[in-house]
Amino acid sequence: MRKIKESYKRTLLFLAGDVLIIPLSYLGAYFIRFGELEGFTEKFSIFLLAVMIFGYLCVFYFFNLYSLKKNPLSLGSLFSICIAVFFASFFITILNYALFLFPIGRGILAMANLCILMLAFFWRGLCQQSFKYIIKPKKVIIIGTGEDATEIAGAIESNSYDYELLGLVAENEGSERIDGNLSKSDRADSRTIGQTSQLLEIVDKYDVDQIILARPEKNASHFTKDMLKARLRGIEVVDVPEMYQILKGRIPIKYIPDDRWFLKTRGFSSTNNSPIGRIKRILDFSLASVILFLSLPLWPLIALAIKLNSRGPVFYAQNRIEKNEAVFALHKFRSMIEPAEENEPLWADKNDKRITAAGRMLRKLHLDELPQLWDVIKGDMSLVGPRPERPEFVEELKKQIPYYSLRHLVKPGLTGWAQVNYPYASSMEGSREKLEFDLYYVANQSLFLDLKILLKTAQIILLGKKKEFAG
């Protein structure tokens, strides 16, 4: 089992504090309001507190309160927490009315949220000051000095919170010393600290936590025994694609050694018939049905805008590729002129001239995707997964991009890991990079990752924020 990523440990520490802060704040507010705690459990049941905690945590995540800040005790951080607490209290009030049919007293709500605001603010400052003492960066060495080693070294050095790069280990059987006495061939990279014949000596000298193998495994036979001995000492050994997943949230196609890598990677052997897959299907059906029902009042307005703006049908269906490369009809509100294509299929560009004025507005608000909720309910799609592509494009993409078909091991989604981490792709190169994010999703699929993607999607829609790696 893969060890918990260092940044996740920090997030879990933030979360642990918030899980305690939220109920304790309401407990304290109740005591201040009534001068006693009798009757608190009648007003705030365990189930209600659990729902409230979950609601606060989701809103806090939505407002990036679980990411590291350069100065967590700044006015900017305090303002972010103020905004998050305000929206969380509003969300909890609505949720409480909907589920439990009684209000939380305004006095208790105000005092509790003031406590949450101050405690969450100082908790984050305390945590960030404590990280340097309780969560040490992993000490890492890289075996190899080629392009892949150099690239992963740069990625590690940009993540000083989680990792400390000690250096690169060159394969040079002629050199017998470490550090300053390397031969000329060893000095290809100034970060080189030795060669593979000295691996165990380097591991002991630098107290290494992790070894990254940035060279083909088939050419590593002469120091495999040393790597196994390092493993027996509790040192992790990972390859470049696995490390790239941790650092960048994607699987780099160019560094995949061969097809067998996917056969031994978690996610590429699982199916939707697993218990997790069945739970996901139930959640897909339930959430899609609720969102579809809540959005129905908008549909006549959208249809009117489309008809007033251009000629043609309100809806359109287009063949797309789903799981196991089956074809299904994807449904959308029409956002382009009719007909949009004549002789051959064309890539849709973000600033495509075929997009109508009403269509541009619908795309900006992602309202053109609403009919796909029906596709989710039918089971052709999921809420989260790789975006489905057209059959004509898939055939061409499979010819030019290795492993493209692997994205079809899971159901396509309304949103996906690539959508929250990468800009709009309208070219072969863009599709190649988005595939790397899709492969990461297939390899690491889980209900937690789906929830993270859904929250990031809502964040992008409402706040317009998108980072290359949503971390």
Q: What's the average model confidence in pLDDT over 117-136?
A: 85
CB-CB contact of 171 with 215 (8 Å): yes
Distance CA 83, CA 226 (A): 53
Q: Could you tell me which residues come within 8 angstroms of residue 426 by beta carbon, excluding any fewer than 6 positions away?
A: 347, 348, 349, 350
Distance CA 17, CA 14 (A): 5
* Whole-number pLDDT of residue 190: 76
- Report whether pLDDT(163) > 90: no
Q: What's the average model confidence in pLDDT over 107-135?
A: 87
What is the pLDDT confidence band of residue 171, given thresholds at 50, 70 and 90?
confident
Could you report the per-residue pLDDT of 239-268, keeping only the tens digit for each? 888 888 888 889 989 888 788 888 877 777
Distance CA 111, CA 25 (A): 8
- Report whether pLDDT(183) > 50: no
Q: Could you tell me which residues come within 8 angstroms of residue 284 by beta carbon, excluding any fewer than 6 positions away?
A: 376, 382, 383
Nearest to 373 by CA among 460, 455, 267, 298: 298
- Find where tokens 């692997």 sit: 406
The domain segmentation of the chain, as residue ranges, is 6-134, 138-248, 275-463
* Whole-number pLDDT of residue 353: 76
CB-CB contact of 166 with 204 (8 Å): no
- Report whether pLDDT(382) > 90: yes
| Three-class secondary structure assignment of the chain | CCCCCHHHHHHHHHHHHHHHHHHHHHHHHHHHHHCCCCCHHHHCCHHHHHHHHHHHHHHHHHCCCCCCCCCCCCHHHHHHHHHHHHHHHHHHHHHHHHHHCCCCCHHHHHHHHHHHHHHHHHHHHHHHHHHHHHCCCEEEEEECCCHHHHHHHHHHHCCCCCEEEEEEEECCCCCCCCHHHCCHHHHHCCCEEEEHHHHHHHHHHHCCCEEEECCCHHHCHHHHHHHHHHHHCCCEEEEHHHHHHHHHCCCCHHHCCCCHHHHCCCCCCCCCCCHHHHHHHHHHHHHHHHHHHHHCCHHHHHHHHHHHHCCCCCEEEEEEECHHHCEEEEEEECCECCCCCCCCCCCCCCCCCCECHHHHHHHHCCHHHCCHHHHHHHCCCEEECCCCCCHHHHHHHHHHCCCHHHHHHCCCEEECHHHHHCCCCCCHHHHHHHHHHHHHHHHHCCHHHHHHHHHHHHHHHHHCCCCCCCC
* Whole-number pLDDT of residue 272: 56
* Whole-number pLDDT of residue 286: 94
* pLDDT: which is higher, 333 or 461: 333
* Whole-number pLDDT of residue 11: 82
- Report whether pLDDT(174) > 50: no
Q: What's the average model confidence in pLDDT over 446-466?
A: 83
Q: What's the average model confidence in pLDDT over 171-179?
A: 49
CB-CB contact of 385 with 441 (8 Å): yes
- Report whether pLDDT(5) > 70: no
* Whole-number pLDDT of residue 458: 85
Backbone angles phi, psi at 223, to 5 degrees: -125, 20
Tell me the CATH number of domain 138-248, given options 1.20.58.2240, 3.40.50.10490, 3.40.50.11750, 3.40.50.720.
Answer: 3.40.50.720
Could you report the per-residue pLDDT of 59-93, keeping only the tens digit for each? 998 888 887 766 778 888 888 899 999 999 888 88
* pLDDT: which is higher, 211 or 159: 211
**Does the predicted model carry a pTM greater than 0.75?**
yes
Q: What's the average model confidence in pLDDT over 367-379?
A: 94
What is the pLDDT confidence band of residue 195, given thresholds at 50, 70 and 90?
confident
| Average pLDDT across the chain, whole number | 83
What is the pLDDT confidence band of residue 404, given thresholds at 50, 70 and 90?
very high
What is the pLDDT confidence band of residue 2, given thresholds at 50, 70 and 90?
very low
Nearest to 444 by CA among 306, 241, 286: 241
* Whole-number pLDDT of residue 192: 85
389-395's contacts with Cβ under 8 Å and 24+ in sequence apart are 389/320, 389/321, 389/431, 390/318, 390/319, 390/320, 390/321, 390/345, 391/319, 391/320, 391/321, 391/327, 392/344, 392/345, 393/345, 393/347, 393/431, 394/321, 394/325
Could you report the per-residue pLDDT of 10-61, keeping only the tens digit for each? 788 889 999 999 999 999 999 998 888 888 888 888 888 898 999 999 899 8
Between 175-184, 266-275, 331-340, the lowest mean confidence (pLDDT) is in 175-184
What is the pLDDT confidence band of residue 189, given thresholds at 50, 70 and 90?
low
Bridge-partner residues for 315, per DSSP?
333
Strands in 236-239's sheet, in edge-to-edge order, are: 192-195, 163-170, 138-143, 210-213, 236-239
